[in-house]
């Protein structure tokens, strides 16, 4: 049946790069992704998808056009579709992301930070 527990600490130990999400599960057309982030990402939006960011370790800031949201360890936020945002992390932050499988990490922007065909671990 393939039902098993997923150990996130073990999954995070398998990679060291930043801003390159990995898929650790799928359900109902949604992907459960993990990522390590550090520094500044690109300002972007997702026209058709909402995104959920859960901070597992560290402190994440998300910049919007009119404010900055601080998300602490153990907290999450949902970014509604169509909202411009830029995640930033001074130190390394470990995230769990929940979003449709088709969601491109850079949304409406394509650049060197864009990741397609995410690795499944």
What ranges do the domains of the chain cover? 8-100
Q: Which CATH entry fits the domain spanning 8-100: 2.60.34.10, 3.90.1300.10, 3.20.20.80, 2.60.120.10?
A: 2.60.120.10
Between CA 60 and CA 62 the distance in angstroms is 7
Between CA 60 and CA 39 the distance in angstroms is 10
Counted residue by residue, the chain has a size of 121
For residue range 50-95, list pLDDT tens digits in order: 999 999 999 999 999 999 999 999 999 999 999 999 999 989 999 9
This prediction's pTM: 0.92
Tokens of 16: 């060291």
Between CA 75 and CA 71 the distance in angstroms is 6
A 10 A CB-CB count for 79 gives 21
């Amino acid at each position: 049946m393939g039902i098993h527990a997923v150990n996130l600490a073990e999954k995070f130990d398998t990679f060291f790069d930043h801003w390159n999400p990995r898929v650790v599960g799928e359900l109902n057309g949604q992907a459960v992704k993990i990522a390590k982030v550090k520094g500044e990402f690109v300002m972007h939006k997702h026209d058709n998808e909402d995104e959920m960011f859960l901070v597992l370790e560290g402190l994440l800031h998300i910049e919007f056009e009119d404010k900055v949201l601080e998300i602490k360890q153990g907290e999450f936020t949902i970014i509604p579709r169509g909202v411009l945002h830029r995640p930033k992390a001074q130190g390394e932050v470990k995230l769990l992301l929940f979003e449709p499988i088709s969601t491109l990490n850079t949304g409406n922007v394509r650049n060197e930070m864009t990741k397609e065909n995410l690795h499944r671990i």
